[in-house]
Structure 1
Amino acid sequence: MSSGKKFPQYLAAVCVSIGAFGTGSVIGWTSNICEDLKNGKLNELEMDDDQLGWSGSCMTLGAMIMCIPMGFICEMIGRKGAALVAAIPLFLGWVIILFANHKGIVYAGRILCGIGGGSFCVCGPLYTSEISEPEIRGTLGTFFQLFITIGILFSNVFGYAMPSIRLFNIACTSIPVVFAIVFAFQPESPVYYMRKGKQGKAEKSLERLRGNDYDIRGELQAIQAAIDQEKQMAGFKVAIKTKAAKKATVICFTLMVYQQFCGINAVTFYTQEIFLAAGSDLEPHWCVIILGIVQVVVTLCVSWAIEKAGRKILLMVSCGLMALASAMIGLFFTFKNRNLMDEDGVKSIGFLPIIGVNLFIIAFSIGLGPIPWMASSEIFPPEVKSKCSSAAATFNWFLAFLVARFYLNLANAIGNDVTFFIFAAIAGSGIFFTLFVIPETKAKTFEQIVAELEGK
């Protein structure tokens, strides 16, 4: 049954996604200020390549260590309360970076920012999935990735446009403050209230999200039935052994591998370095900004298309195009670094990495960007969702750390070309995994998804 009034759900999803905007600003912080950091423009702290690698990657460590605790926090104080708590370390992290007088303090600030960003990656998708009606759950689920891309673009633009890194960091510090003010006025998840036995509050929450003309009784009964069924089960240790939970775990964790090992964070953190290596005539800062705009526009289009085309087709197209894009970048570096062409010849194919990087970002935004986060909130059975989603997010950020921290080391050891050929092979294999393993979840209820995973 459709309420006919979607605006309150869209508004709540947008408000919680401002937290994802903050996460994106943390991820993209180094993308357009790499040279400035090397030149000591952050409080006169000069950084070499290794220290720059730590500045870019240590935020993923903070995100990693907080994901599992955030799952328990979501159950203790609610999805809304957990999201508001997540804004605190994000704010403190930016403040620490703002006044840092030692590189170690910068790393500490980045870790705190990662704690906040990683927390949003757990509570944000969970909140959105629980406030949404099935027919728009996919669209609202893409908002999280959309706002991450907007946050990355924010860092791209302000990192270049601000007259100093200090002012740029002040702008970043304002994001968690804005989030806390805006999201404080949104309702708590009705599912959380029902789980805590607060039916009156759940009714008010649903009425606000669906409209006063909507008969909430059927939806409340469905939520209660799911909770009752969960209580009848023997607990997490037994539930995780079911066929549905095992298959959901394999799918979600494998999708996280594909999302990170396709090379996205290598491209995001070191976009400017790649364009410099390509010898682009366009100012590298502008290349980064244009790339950010492309990512936002494509992710916005996916918000509309995901309920039209479905998850599986978008994932397969995404993996195929990313494999092609990575191969193009790898091919350029083969000609450039292995002396297969003279300087003029290399310049003549300088378009390859530029097109490749743009195609890569477009393809990632189509599928491998938003869908792995959606999958964690969509396909885990209710009795294991909180813990397994947290574990999947932790695993994701650990992989992100490996890629962000060691990409430059790997590229220096085996060559940029081989590195991107590896990314291409990984992305290409994702086509077959999606085709044969992942179920389509478009417009399906949680009960239907679990039944399909069970093979019913």
Structure 2
Amino acid sequence: MTVLQCANDIKYVQYLSTIIASLGAASMGTSFSWSSPSIPMLTSSDSPIGVQLTHEQASWVASCFPLGMIPGSILAGVSLSKIGHKNIFFCCSVLFLTSWILVTVSNSLTLLVTGRIIGGLAGGAQISILQLYVGEIADKNIRGKLAVFPTANAQVGLLIGLGIGPFVSFQAYSIICAVIALVYGVTVLFIPQSPYFLMKKDKEQDAQKSLQMLIATLRTKNKNEASLQEIRSTIEYQTKNKFTIKKLLVERRYRNSLLMVIVIKTLSDFSGGYAINSYVQTVLDESNSSLSPEVASLIYGVIQVVSIFSSAFLIDKVGRKPLSIVSSGGAALALISEGVYFYLKDVKHIDTNDFNFLPVLALCIYRLMVSLSLSSLPYVLVSELFSVDAKEMCALIFGTYSSILMFTNIKIFNPILEAAGFHTLFWIFSASCILAIVFVAVLLPETKGISFNAIQDKLDSKK
């Protein structure tokens, strides 16, 4: 929740703080896309760790990162009120750095998996609290834009994996990712702590300094006593009205906000984003495209970065609902086309040489459309739909559930592929996109430019 409603000048500290905090999302993105260039190397006879992995072992290496995210989400949720967002961010940077060091020096499956799980701990913590931090420091008029930045930075991390990973050695790529984690750890020390957290700790002077930094523009650094008083009132209300599981289950606005986020996160993840990103080079290798898998995956990565940054500029202008409907519809059509190609090629054994451009084209259109809104929508909603007293518990539930979803998506990719083929996978993903269209159009409230109180009133409405 945010009450930092000040001048229309550019609040550069809010932008910088969001970008720096989101470097953790970039580290998470490199960890996800690491699988795409690395799995083919690890399963080859010339494995960079000295041990050739089976496809089953490789699927565990790919999925153990989100597996580590599950306890990471829980640990971040229970420690947030004690040490705050900023300190958790720094701990995440240390874990990411440790993870990449272990991956770099790996000479066995055990060491490789250990490094990936440690990175997952950091990723789970990031996904639980990053959007809460952004929501607490952002002005209402740029809240949607800033809420997209973590996803945008994650896409930049994915691009690094897809654009650099195939062209450098296994160890060199890990070192590059370690440098990102190091930069994250150093820069995050300079961002302001959330004024909400400081007020909860009865550090009013520190909260005032943090608030003054956050509302600073390129032309002024005026204090905003009204905002500080509103934060104080919010914290007092939260203290008097302790949030409990009973409230979550009984009161409509709490239940509705959590259900909205859980459903849209489920549909977003089962649209295939994480699974495809982890195996994009494998998919492209099977497509018989005239482009090499390495070049095609680079194009795929560039498109998703361009799309997510476009989303940052469109979301507060077009609105969440229209953008999400277009995003889901375009992604569904692209996935259906991808499924049809592999069905004709692998099941009907029809000559598809004249259409070898289609898999790369459809995959790029899919990434363009899904990154436009559907992939980032759950994280935007986390920063908007949860009331201030419910944020910490709901974020803990959301982070843990998200980690389980990611693990499930990546782990089941290979078994479904071997049992039913690429076409079945892509059609499952497209069905999820179609369901997302229905859900967003019928049930999701539009939150563009609406205050948090008005959003809560909508969620509490019996209609």
TM over 0.5, shorter chain: yes
Identity of paired residues, percent?
27
Contact 2:128 2:398 in 1 (8 A): no
1:290 pairs, out of 293, 299, 319, with 299
Indicate conservation of the 8 Å contact 2:268/2:432, yes or no.
Answer: no
Instruction: Identify the residue that residue 175 of structure 1 maps to in structure 2.
Output: 180
- Deviation sequence 1:155-184 (CA, Å, 0-9, x none): 11221232x211111111122211011111
Superposition map of 1:24-423 within 5 A: 24-39=29-44, 40-162=46-168, 164-211=169-216, 213-240=221-248, 241-341=250-350, 345-423=351-429
Q: Unpaired segments of 5 or more residues in structure 2?
A: none
Equivalent residue of 2:192, what SS?
Answer: coil
Task: Give yes or no for contact 2:385–2:455 (8 Å, CA) kept in 1.
Answer: yes
How far 1:234 sits from its partner (Å)? 4.5
AA paired with 1:318? S
Contact 1:236–1:383 (8 Å) recurs in 2: no
Task: Give the Cα–Cα distance (whole angstroms) in 2 for the partners of residues 29 and 366 of structure 1.
Answer: 23
Shift of 1:144: 0.2
Q: d(CA) in 1 for partners of 2:172 and 2:221?
A: 48
Q: For residue 452 of structure 1, what is the aligned residue in structure 2? A: 458
Residue 237 of structure 1, CA deviation: 2.9
CA distance in 2, matches of 1:34, 1:393: 26
The TM-score, its normalising length taken from structure 2, stands at 0.95
Rounded Cα–Cα distance in structure 1 between residues aligned with 2:450 and 2:207: 22
1:159/1:168 contact within 8 Å kept: yes
Does the 8 A contact of 2:196 with 2:207 survive in 1? yes
Runs of 4+ in 1 over 6 A off after TM superposition: none
SS in 2 for 1:382: coil
Is 1:92–1:112's contact at 8 Å kept on the other side of the alignment?
yes
Whether the aligned pair in 1 keeps the contact of 2:132 and 2:391 (CA below 8 Å) is no
Bigger Cα displacement from structure 2, 129-138 vs 168-177: 168-177
**Alpha-carbon deviation of 1:340?**
4.6
Deviation at 1:27, TM superposition (A): 0.6
Q: Which amino acid aligns with 2:239?
A: K
Any conservation in 2 of the 1:68–1:387 contact (CA below 8 Å)? Answer: no
Amino acid in structure 1 at the alignment position of 2:199:
M
Q: Is the 8 A contact 1:42 1:165 kept in 2?
A: yes
- CA distance in 2 between partners of 1:393 and 1:371 (Å): 15
Which stretch of the first structure deviates more once superposed, 220-229 or 174-183?
Answer: 220-229
**Letter matched to residue 266 of structure 1:** A
**More divergent stretch after superposition (426-435 vs 64-73):** 64-73
State the distance in 2 between where 1:261 and 1:308 align: 27
TM-score normalised by the chain length of structure 1: 0.96
Q: Deviations over 1:352-398 (max 9, x none)?
A: 22121111111111112111012112101211211111211211121
Cα root mean square deviation, aligned: 1.5
Q: In terms of mean alpha carbon deviation, does 288-297 or 439-448 score higher?
A: 439-448
- Could you give the per-residue CA deviations for residues 279-307 of structure 1, whole angstroms, max 9, x where no partner exists? 01111101111110011011111111111
Instruction: Note the C-alpha offset of 1:418.
Output: 1.8
Deviations 1:112-135 (A, max 9, x none): 111111211122211111111110
2: CA distance, partners of 1:441 / 1:195: 27
1:32 partner SS: helix
Counterpart of 1:2 in structure 2 is 6
In 1, the alpha carbon distance for the partners of 2:97 and 2:418 equals 35
Q: Which amino acid aligns with 1:217?
A: E
Question: 2:42·2:49 contact (CA, 8 Å) conserved in 1?
Answer: no
AA paired with 1:35?
Answer: P
Q: Helix, strand or coil: the match of 1:150?
A: helix
CA distance in 1, matches of 2:349, 2:171: 44
